[in-house]
Chains A and B, each alone.
Chain A
Amino acid sequence: MSGPAPADAPPAKAHRRAGWHTATVTDSRPETPTARRIAFEVPTWPGNDAGSHLDVRLTAPDGYQATRSYSIASSGEGTRVLLAVDELPDGEVSPFLVHDLREGDQVEMHGPLGAYFVWTPPPAGEPSRPVQLIAGGSGVVPLFAMARAHAEADDATEFRLLYSARTPQDVFFRAELEQLTAAAPALWLDFVYTRQVPEGWPTGPGRITREVLDAATLPAASDPLVFVCGPTPFVETVAGWLVESGHRPGSVRTERFGGS
Chain B
Amino acid sequence: MSFITRGFSGRRGDRDPRLPPGQTLVADWPVLSAGPTPHVDTADWEFSIRTENGVHRWSWDELRALGVEDITTDIHCVTHWSKLEMPWRGVPLDKIWKSVQTEHEYVMAHSYGGYTTNLPLEDLLDGKSWVAFEADGEPLDPEHGGPARLLVPHLYFWKSAKWVRGLVTMPDDDPGFWEQNGYHLHGDPWLEERYW
Q: State the A residues within 8 Å of B (CB).
A: 1, 3, 5-10, 12, 15, 18, 20, 22, 55, 57-62, 64-69, 92, 96, 100-101, 105-108, 110, 113-117, 232, 236, 239-240, 242-243, 249-250, 252-254, 256, 258-260
Contact = CB atoms under 8 A, between A and B. Distances in A.
Contacts of A242: 36
Contacts of B113: 6, 249
B1 interface: yes
Contacts of B35: 239, 249-250, 252-254
Contacts, number: 145
A258 B30 contact: yes
Tell me if B's interface is mostly helix, strand, loop or mixed.
Answer: loop
A9 B180 contact: yes
Contact of A92 (B10, B15, B177, B195): B10
Given A22-B1, A60-B8, A106-B3, A253 B13 contact: no
A58 B8 contact: yes
Interface residues of B, number: 51
A206 to B, nearest CB: 23
Contact of A256 (B15, B30, B80, B165): B30
B1 A1 contact: no
By Cβ-Cβ distance, the 8 closest A-B pairs, closest first, are A6-B114, A239-B36, A258-B30, A116-B181, A64-B10, A58-B5, A115-B181, A92-B11
Interface in B129-185: 143, 165-166, 168, 175, 177-178, 180-182
